[in-house]
A and B are shown apart, each in its own frame.
Chain A
């Protein structure tokens, strides 16, 4: 019986564990690299322009005022009228949330007072509410000229589209003719 004992060093210069660890690390790096590259690219596209913050904070303030106005009107209403006013309130709250979400930590905190205290039946308050919607949509439309960020402009445009609808429907329910309400 012949025994050949091979003495190996206690710590191999290239142990199997090291080799496997290196391969795993290399593989992980290879997989992660494109992910990080993609993330960096996406962040570049979503970059917010600080120049837009003051204008967007003004938009935020206006939407808070609109939400406060509808909250005041909805508090005095009942039944289906309350449901309709709450829907419009929800829309403006959604605009507040969206603009705040875009601004992140640059959003100015605070609450705003209502722009009016509408009282009476829906048809009675529809016309003054329509004027406020119209003014808000116009302010946002003018705001687009100065916005540098694509995403900021896209967000504001999507708000304008529906606020113009608010204005027209409320104008119609306030007693205007269809063509006058449509602005056609």
Chain B
């Protein structure tokens, strides 16, 4: 039996050599130049200006709050909503519109104090995202019973907007002012919920006798212990044969709907 180690490439040497090759390759790659030659083009190539970084300033938050208040006031006072409200909902809706309009004046003062220009227009991005859909569904459905659920959803949305904005500002006094306005929307949401499903039994989510299925058309006044920031959902529009009615999801303003 011959046990001869005649190979000059031991395992150790191989590992050392491999390591040296990898390290050398990395050095060579780093020394290389980046080619600027891409696909050949004919004609002049316009220089694309770099977009400026948008800053979500306190003034931008307040202007956005104005746009949301204005949007809600406009939707609730629209003839497609206010025009079909019954005698219970009509004075509530009118009172809520007046409250949102009053908030615009308070916010306008705050915007100016924070170096911004007051914004008295509805939030265009949110109108495109769901506001116009809501009005179309209300027009198509013409259901008086949809007015209070829509009111509840919109007030919940405004309250969530202010709550969310608290996390976007470091100005303590502004946080207080925002939540003062947000709390009034919370109160209005609770009252709207109670007008839809009244009494203390409606505080929590109500279920059918099976204990699993949520009671149809019921609204919980306090669905959570803490204010939620998820999309507010509302069912609106005409009945559809063999299908559920339309659900609209309404989100709080995000970076693309902030009024900078």
Contact = CB atoms under 8 A, between A and B. Distances in A.
A80 B92 CA distance: 28
A69 to B, nearest CB: 16
A146 B191 contact: no
A171 B155 CA distance: 18
13 contacts: A2-B4, A83-B204, A141-B183, A154-B167, A159-B227, A160-B183, A167-B187, A169-B190, A169-B222, A173-B194, A173-B199, A184-B95, A184-B96
Interface in A1-51: 1-4, 6, 14, 16, 19
A2 B227 CA distance: 87
B172 A145 contact: yes
A179 B12 contact: no
Where chain B touches its partner, the secondary structure class is: helix
Interface stretch (B113-121, B173-181, B231-239): B173-181
A144 B182 contact: no
Q: What 3 pairs across the A-B complex have the smallest Cβ distances?
A: A161-B227, A168-B187, A84-B200
A146 B171 CA distance: 9
Interface in B83-99: 91-92, 95-96, 98-99
B135 interface: no
A178 interface: yes
A181 interface: yes
B5 interface: yes
Contacts of A90: 225
A144 B172 contact: yes
A122 interface: yes
Given A4-B4, A157-B227, A183 B200 contact: no
Interface of A: 1-4, 6, 14, 16, 19, 80-81, 83-84, 87-88, 90-91, 94-95, 98, 122, 137, 141-142, 144-148, 150, 153-154, 157-162, 164-169, 172-173, 178-179, 181-184
A141 B2 contact: no
Contacts of A137: 183
Interface of B: 1-5, 11-12, 15, 91-92, 95-96, 98-99, 159-160, 162-163, 166-167, 170, 172-173, 175-176, 179-180, 182-184, 186-191, 193-195, 199-201, 203-204, 221-222, 224-227
Contacts of A81: 200
A174 B21 CA distance: 82
A184 B226 contact: no
B190 A165 contact: yes
Contact of B204 (A87, A95, A153, A166): A87
Given A162-B224, A179-B95, A80 B201 contact: yes
Contacts of A98: 226
A158 B226 contact: yes
A182 B201 contact: no
A182 B193 CA distance: 11
A169 B191 contact: yes
Contact of A184 (B98, B183, B224): B98
A159 B182 CA distance: 12
A162 B186 contact: yes
